[in-house]
Amino acid sequence: MVESGAQLADDVVVGPFCFVEAGVELGPGCWLDSHVTIKSGTTLGARNVVGQGAILGGDPQDRKYKGEPTFLRIGDDNVFREYVTIHRATGEGLTTTVGNRCYLMAFCHLGHNVTLHDDITMANNVGVAGHVTVENLANIGGMTGIHQFARIGQVAMVGGMSRIVRDVPPYMLVEGAEQTVHDINAVGLRRIGVTSESRLALHKACKLLFKSQLGLTNAIATVRREVKSTPEVEVLIAFVERLFHGKNGRGDQR
């Protein structure tokens, strides 16, 4: 069923038993498998694939939500596998956002006011609470739970079944209930073409920031003094400094 008032590009494929509400926009090349529900206020760009049973744009699970108009905005070339659920934002006019080329495996959930950047991979059963931001090229292992307002840095790798209750630094491999930083995400960094020299600099910075007995202020100063400055190291330092000053990556007080 496609309600009057939904806007679908000419080549959109809508499978059996789908329900597309009024106020939905589906861009060219989108493909909906069977039993998909797309709720009002949701916009999909081009060439998105939505698996069986997925529900996109549902009301936020938030006691503060009082029915105000909110939105879900999705970019291009994303894949949402079976039974993925993504909720609209809380707060009039606000938006839950998914970027481009993300791959969410079966049973993943994105809560209200979440922001996903580009090229993110989430394995099965990842649960993302409200107001979370996930930066470019992050990879989240299956059955991981991410606490509200957390931020996952770019090219970070989060191991399966982890409990994420604070921000995950960019380029790092993090895992477990204690959110342990093990080392750099060497495989992910090689895949995107980061040089061996830059990876070595990140490795040294990782040891000083997360493995040494130095206080954070001293650790940052030591990194600046002893580690070769690369674009990746500067991104890492800036991320850690935001945490030190009590702000997440969007500038909100934590």
Q: How far apart are CA 249 and CA 189, in angstroms?
A: 21
- pLDDT, one tens digit per residue, over 7-20 is 999 999 999 999 99
Q: How far apart are CA 233 and CA 231, in angstroms?
A: 6
Position 136 pLDDT exceeds 60 = yes
β-bridge mates for residue 20, sequence order? 2, 38
Position 69 pLDDT exceeds 90 = yes
Taking the chain, what is the end-to-end CA distance rounded to the nearest angstrom? 43
What domains, with CATH codes, occur in the chain?
Answer: 7-182 (2.160.10.10), 189-244 (1.20.1180.10)
- pLDDT, one tens digit per residue, over 88-124 is 999 999 999 999 999 999 999 999 999 999 999 999 9
- pLDDT, one tens digit per residue, over 23-68 is 999 999 999 999 999 999 999 999 999 999 999 999 999 999 999 9
The tokens 């093990």 sit on which residue?
182
Between helices 231-244 and 216-226, what is the axis angle to 10°? 160
pTM, full prediction: 0.95
